Amino acid sequence: MLRILAVTGATLATGGLSAFSSPVQTTMLNRLIPSTKEKLPVVGIGTWQTFDVSGTAAHSELLQTLKAVHTAGGKLIDSSPMYGRSEEVVGTLTAESGLQNQFFYATKVWTRGREAGIQQMEDSMRKMKRSSIDLMQIHNLVDWKTHLETLKAWKAAGKIRYIGITHYTDSMHDELVEIISKVPLDFVQFNYSILARNAEKKLLPAAQDRGVATIINQPFAEGRLFSLVKGKAVPAWANENDMTSWAQFFLKFILSHPAVTCVIPGTSDPRHAADNMLAGHGRLPDAALREKMAGLIRTL
């Protein structure tokens, strides 16, 4: 039987342990959102492509996927108008599940112009069946200065709780750093994985220094990581450190960085979702183990 243990993000912030180590506890690890100190479970779910579906069979599988996320302690669901039917599917299935108020809803504005942005965000709220959204993000920095003013007003009015910005390429990390260094934001979302570690240079440290929560996309490097390890067994030393699958191996590497708040692997398979959630349970790698893990991937 898989051991389901976890650590608390508060301990990472106390200085009682090294930045890359963790004590053992019995629920999914939570990290604090710096701007409010609200706890957020460290593994959520992304909906790019996987939730852009129609039909009873596809919806049924996704309903079980969301239930698997909830059962294991996950909360954050990340979507966008860019993702086709994903927002609507999220709204429909969370309502059907009876768990509508158990998730942390994050979506995005992805258009140009103030009025177009307002209309798009109102559409997103309707599709997701929400009277308010936990986190509204400016997708890929599209017209971000315009939308930021709207988001500030919406936050003050209680329509959203948090404001964020996103991107998905290494080439935009410097711009994300520049923005969070000058603009008060709650969240920044970007790509980071054991295979693509550019965010460690400036972006993760900047977010930590500025008190900005981080959401990690592309944790499996768009599937390239699974291609590298196809047919290979997870090493025994990883099993001994609470990593019993490659998905957990890749996700725990990310989560062991103290500046990471939440990671959002995408899947439509409830078994994969349950496995992904286990990355938020058990021990996290310390600095030495992280480098051993990265070294293994470099040999593949």
Q: What one-letter code names the amino acid at 91?
A: G
35-51 pLDDT tens trace: 999 999 999 999 999 99
Beta strands in the chain (DSSP E): 30-33, 38-41, 45-46, 76-78, 104-109, 133-138, 160-166, 187-191, 213-217, 262-263
- The arithmetic mean of pLDDT across residues 98-103, rounded, is 94
Residues 122-151, mean pLDDT to the nearest whole number: 98
- Region of poorest pLDDT, from 20-29, 33-42, 93-102: 20-29
Instruction: State pLDDT tens for residues 55-65.
Output: 999 999 999 99
Q: Any residues with CB less than 8 A from the CB of 298 and at least 6 apart, and which? A: none
93 backbone dihedrals φ, ψ, rounded to 5°: -75, -35
SS3 1: coil
Please compute the mean of the pLDDT values over residues 102-106 and round it to a whole number: 98
- The percent of residues above 90 in pLDDT, for the chain, comes to 90
Higher pLDDT: 138 or 18? It is 138
Alpha-helical regions (H) of 220-281: 224-229, 236-239, 246-255, 270-277
Q: Which fold is adopted by the domain 31-298?
A: TIM Barrel (3.20.20)
Q: What is the pLDDT of residue 19?
A: 46
Is residue 6 predicted with pLDDT exceeding 70? no
Query: What is the mean predicted confidence (pLDDT) over 209-235?
Result: 98
**Residue 24 pLDDT > 60, yes or no?**
no
Arithmetic mean of pLDDT, 57-75: 96
How many H helices and E strands in the chain? 12, 10
Q: What is the pLDDT of residue 23?
A: 42
Quote the pLDDT of residue 26. 52
Give, rounded to a whole angstrom, the gap between the first and last alpha carbons of the chain: 29
Tell me what the pLDDT averaged over the chain comes to: 92
Contact by Cβ (8 Å): 93, 63: yes
Percent of the chain residues past pLDDT 70, beyond the cut: 91
Cα–Cα distances in angstroms (integers) from residue 119 to residues 10, 23, 81, 204, in the given order: 38, 46, 11, 33
pLDDT surpassing 60 at residue 248: yes
pLDDT of amino acid 3:
34
Q: Is the confidence at residue 10, as pLDDT, over 50?
A: no
Residue 23 is inside which H or E element, if any?
none
> Which residue is listed with tokens 């990671």?
263
- To the nearest 10°, report the CA torsion of 272, 273, 274, 275: 50
CA atoms within 13 A on the CB side of 32: 13
Q: Is the pLDDT of residue 145 over 70?
A: yes
Distances in Å between the Cα of 42 and the Cα atoms of 75, 84, 261 are 9, 26, 6
Mean pLDDT for 76-87 is 95
Beta-carbon contacts of 243 under 8 Å, excluding residues fewer than 6 positions away, are 234, 249, 252, 282
Contacts of 232 (CB under 8 A, 6+ apart): 300
Residue 154 CA to residue 159 CA, distance in Å, equals: 5
- Tell me the one-letter amino acid at 179: I
Residue 216 reports pLDDT greater than 90:
yes
CA angle 221, 225, 231 (to 5 degrees): 160
Residue 16 to residue 295: CA distance in whole angstroms: 28
